[in-house]
Structure 1
Amino acid sequence: MAALDWIEAARGENLNGRRENFNFLTKEGARTFKILFVTATALLSFALKNSAGSVDVIRLGSIVVAAHLYLVCGYMVRRVLDAIAVPAIYNEPKNLMYRGHSRCELQIAELDAIKRRIIKATKLNRERARFVRRARVAAMCSPLISGWHRLSAIAKD
């Protein structure tokens, strides 16, 4: 009986750690989103400031990079910052009350349920980390987009 209590506590701590990791990834995604959004807005305001109808290569490049960063921000809103259901750490008490079963049988059944929730939380964390990483890589490609735009402008001249 003591072994089941110890295992139950360990699995609860495991699931709690997965939830903390999920919250950390969400905060990192939010921080990345803020930086990219502010950068895109600054680029766009630079490009539109005192343009007076003339569009030069630098301003057009700023608009292209800003559009790229806004697309990355949209991806982050959809894939990282979107609210999704995270597995609960504990089961509802009403789900733990089954007549005709011993406490040991109920603990074993609950341990299986926690195992499923840990697997689901691990999958969610892996996906969220992948989405944050993809968004950051896409944002790091913005100088390449700017350089490509600049080269295409030079090639036209």
Structure 2
Amino acid sequence: MMPLHKTITIADVLDWKEGEYRCVAEVDGFPPKALHHMLFLKGPPKVQLSEQFLFDADSVTLACRVQHRSERVKVHWYHNGHRVDIEPGVHLQQPELDVVGDHQPHYAVRDERMSRWEIVSRLTILRFTDADFGTYNCTARNEHGVVSDQREITLNVVDSLRKIF
């Protein structure tokens, strides 16, 4: 319990201190009154590219989990340092799936919102070929910074996936 007219200062704010804070005033004979305050932290997104790949026939899917504290977060994929651009107007027959490429798309990107502050972006490499081996990078940016994570797809990775399926 704090005395009248006191404030609380939250020092060294870390992730775990984010959330709701309540101030409750209680006086005998009266119902308690409460004020609610939300503490939001500003900062760049957090990115985690899964170490597991989903292999389906000739396609490989990579998943990237992005946690952010901004309404305006952008997620981009790169292969061997080159951005995998999404071309407008090219889609597969699935909702929320944007396809990159020409009439026979080679990449598909699907962003799924898990919560207000979390997105899972999936890059699917359709008709996987030798040219698709290499380094894949998932990059997320907001007004506070840019963060990325990357994984290598090698012949050993694909061969082990083919043995499983």
Which bin holds the TM-score, normalised by the shorter protein? under 0.3
TM-score in terms of structure 2 length: 0.22
> Based on CA coordinates, which of the two structures has the bigger radius of gyration?
1
Which has the larger share of strand? 2
Structure possessing the higher relative contact order (Cα contacts under 8 Å, 6 or more residues apart) = 1
